[in-house]
Amino acid sequence: MIPSRGAHPFYEGAVHYAYRTRTGTVPIPPFQRVETLYLPFTADVGSSEPFETSNIRRYWSRTLAAIVRRDNNDVAYRLHEFLRENCKGLAIGNTTIKTATSSKFIFVDAVVSGQAISEIFDAFDENGLTDCHFLLLVDELGKKLKPKYRRRIEGMRIAQKATIIPVESILTFEWPNYLKPRAKRKTAGLYCHSSSFPEPPSSPKQYTLTDTLLTP
């Protein structure tokens, strides 16, 4: 489960790394891309909006719960499908999962202050999404985490419900002009230091998804 533009490059980087490693000197099992689901848990709303970000994450958690349980009659899921049908080409990716034998999944997300993921923890509890492990990519090695959210995330780690991966920098930037002919679009990039890769340049390059660097 990929819920944000910040998490996507990490996942794609891991996929590309696994694929390249298969043909290298490091022995790994045969490469197989895992089933992936995208839902927009990101809640970019201003302080003047008449609703809380937590409500947005409750809605998407309910939608995810319906998908995991194969409940196509859930009202949240039906609204999601209705919007996708009316968005035409703007809607991409799957809204169902093929694996019929398990409700377990991994939730991969980027973390900055910790507020968003803490709201998602609460929303998952409300919707009974318990067969989940969180893979959390923490920006600036955790320097931006607020204390109350840090404690919540650490509690999930201690309970073995989350794995924490500190990264030096997650950055968001605009697509080059030739990739945004109709409207401005944003994506995310990342820098992770590794002995296998050079240091980031002093004037950071804006990496595309296929240029993603990921620490093994």
pLDDT at res. 118: 95
Q: What is the C-alpha to C-alpha distance for residues 216 and 204, in angstroms, rounded to an integer?
A: 21
Inform me whether the pLDDT recorded for 171 exceeds 70. Answer: no
Apex CA 166: angle with CA 62 and CA 142, to 5°?
Answer: 85
Tens of pLDDT, residue by residue over 81-140, are 898 888 776 766 667 777 666 788 999 999 999 999 999 999 999 999 999 999 999 999
pLDDT level of residue 35 (50, 70, 90 thresholds):
confident
Q: Which residues does 198 contact at the CB level (< 8 Å), separation at least 6?
A: none
pLDDT at res. 195: 31
Tell me the whole-structure pTM to 2 decimals. Answer: 0.72
Mean pLDDT over residues 2-22, rounded?
79
Mean pLDDT over residues 18-44, rounded?
69
φ/ψ of 106, rounded to 5, equals: -110, 135
φ/ψ of 110, rounded to 5, equals: -90, 140
pLDDT at res. 109: 93
Q: What is the C-alpha to C-alpha distance for residues 135 and 30, in angstroms, rounded to an integer?
A: 23
Q: What is the C-alpha to C-alpha distance for residues 32 and 46, in angstroms, rounded to an integer?
A: 41
Provide the 10 A C-beta neighbour count for residue 130.
10
pLDDT at res. 58: 93
Residue of 129, 130, 136 whose CA lies nearest to 157: 136
User: For a pLDDT cut of 90, what percent of the chain falls above it?
Assistant: 35
Residue of 117, 116, 113 whose CA lies nearest to 142: 113
Q: What is the C-alpha to C-alpha distance for residues 171 and 190, in angstroms, rounded to an integer?
A: 6
Across-strand partners of 111? Answer: 138
pLDDT at res. 155: 94
Higher-confidence position of 73 and 181? 73
Inform me whether the pLDDT recorded for 153 exceeds 90. Answer: yes
